[in-house]
Amino acid sequence: MSTSTLPETREERATSSATKYVYSFGGGKADGNGKMKDVLGGKGAGLAEMTNAGLPVPPGFTIQTEACREYMRDGLSPEVDRQMNDALTKLEALQGQKLGAGDNPLLVSVRSGAKFSMPGMMDTILNLGLNDKSVEALAKRSNNPRFAADSYRRLIQMFGNVVLDIEKAAFDEVFEAKKKQKKAKLDTDLDAKALHEVIAEYKKVVKKHARRDFPQDPHEQLVMARDAVFRSWQNERAKHYRRINNIDDMLGTAVNVQAMVFGNLGDTSGTGVGFTRNPATGVNEFYGEFLMNAQGEDVVAGIRTPVHISELHKIMPHVYDQLRDITTRLEKHYKDMQDFEFTIQDGKLYMLQTRNGKRTGLAAVKVAIEMVNEGLITKEEAIFRVDPNQLYDFLVPRLDEKSTKVEVLATGLPASPGAAVGQIVFTADEAVEKAGHGSKKNPVILVRAETTPEDIHGMEVAAGILTSRGGMTSHAAVVTRGMGKCCVAGAGDIEVNERTKEMRVKGQVFHEGDWISLDGTTGRVIKGKLNTMPPSAENEELQTLLSWAEPFRKIGVRANADIPRDAIQAKAFGAEGIGLCRTEHMFFAPDRIPHMRAMILADNEKDRRKALAKLLPYQRKDFEGLLEAMAGLPVTIRLLDPPLHEFLPKREKLMVDIATLPHAGAKQKKALLEEYKEYGAKGVNDLKKLLPELLRRVEELHEFNPMLGHRGCRLGITYPEITEMQARAIFEAAVAVEKKGIKTHAEVMIPLIGIVKEMSNQGAIVKRVADEVFKEKGKKVHYLVGTMIELPRAALVADEIAKEAEFFSFGTNDLTQTTFGFSRDDINKVLPTYLAEGILKQDPFAVIDRDGVGELVRIGIERGRRTRPNLEVGICGEHGGDPSSVEFCHQVGMDYVACSPFRVLTARLAAAQAGASDKLRVEGGRTK
Q: Supply the residues annotated as catalytic.
A: 475, 876
Helix axis angle for 145-162 and 218-232, nearest 10°, is 50
Closest CA to 619 of 739, 508, 515, 748: 748
C-alpha pair distances (Å), 415 with each of 111, 494, 580, 585: 35, 16, 20, 20
| Dihedral Cα 482, 487, 490, 495, nearest 10 deg | -140
- What is the spatial distance between Cα 11 and Cα 7, in angstroms, rounded to a whole number? 9
Given 3-state DSSP classes, what are the helix, strand and coil percentages for the chain, each rounded to the nearest 5? 50, 15, 35
Within its chain, how far is the Cα of 518 from the centroid?
16
Own/partner pairs for 918-927, CB < 8 Å, 24+ apart? Answer: 918/554, 918/890, 919/552
What three-state secondary structure class fits 852?
A: coil
Q: Which residues are CB-neighbours of 493 under 8 A, at least 6 positions away? A: 409, 410, 411, 505, 506
- What is the spatial distance between Cα 701 and Cα 481, in angstroms, rounded to a whole number? 30
Within its chain, how far is the Cα of 258 from the centroid?
35
Q: Which residues are CB-neighbours of 540 under 8 A, at least 6 positions away? A: none
- What is the spatial distance between Cα 463 and Cα 31, in angstroms, rounded to a whole number? 57
* Backbone φ, ψ for residue 212 (5° rounding): -160, 165
**C-alpha count within 13 angstroms, C-beta hemisphere, residue 892:** 29
* Backbone φ, ψ for residue 643 (5° rounding): -65, 150
Element (H, E) at 61: strand 60-63
What three-state secondary structure class fits 671?
A: helix
- What is the spatial distance between Cα 855 and Cα 849, in angstroms, rounded to a whole number? 8
Could you tell me if 89 and 202 are in contact, meaning their C-beta atoms sit under 8 angstroms apart? no
What three-state secondary structure class fits 403?
A: coil
Centre a 10 Å sphere on the Cβ of residue 131 and count the other Cβ atoms it contains: 20
- What is the spatial distance between Cα 319 and Cα 325, in angstroms, rounded to a whole number? 10
Could you tell me if 498 and 361 are in contact, meaning their C-beta atoms sit under 8 angstroms apart? no
Name the E strands within 815-889. 872-875
Centre a 10 Å sphere on the Cβ of residue 195 and count the other Cβ atoms it contains: 23
* Backbone φ, ψ for residue 682 (5° rounding): -115, -15
Judge residue 57's burial from the number of C-beta atoms within 10 Å of its C-beta, 0-12 exposed, 13-18 middle, 19 or more buried: buried
Could you tell me if 491 and 449 are in contact, meaning their C-beta atoms sit under 8 angstroms apart? no
- What is the spatial distance between Cα 193 and Cα 190, in angstroms, rounded to a whole number? 8
- What is the spatial distance between Cα 219 and Cα 226, in angstroms, rounded to a whole number? 11
Within its chain, how far is the Cα of 179 from the centroid?
42
Element (H, E) at 788: strand 783-789
Helix axis angle for 145-162 and 168-181, nearest 10°, is 150
Closest CA to 859 of 795, 788, 815, 810: 795
287-292/307-308 β-pairing: antiparallel
**In 116-265, which residue ranges form alpha helices assigned H by DSSP?**
134-142, 145-162, 168-181, 192-210, 218-232, 236-245
Closest CA to 89 of 98, 80, 81: 98
- What is the spatial distance between Cα 909 and Cα 150, in angstroms, rounded to a whole number? 51
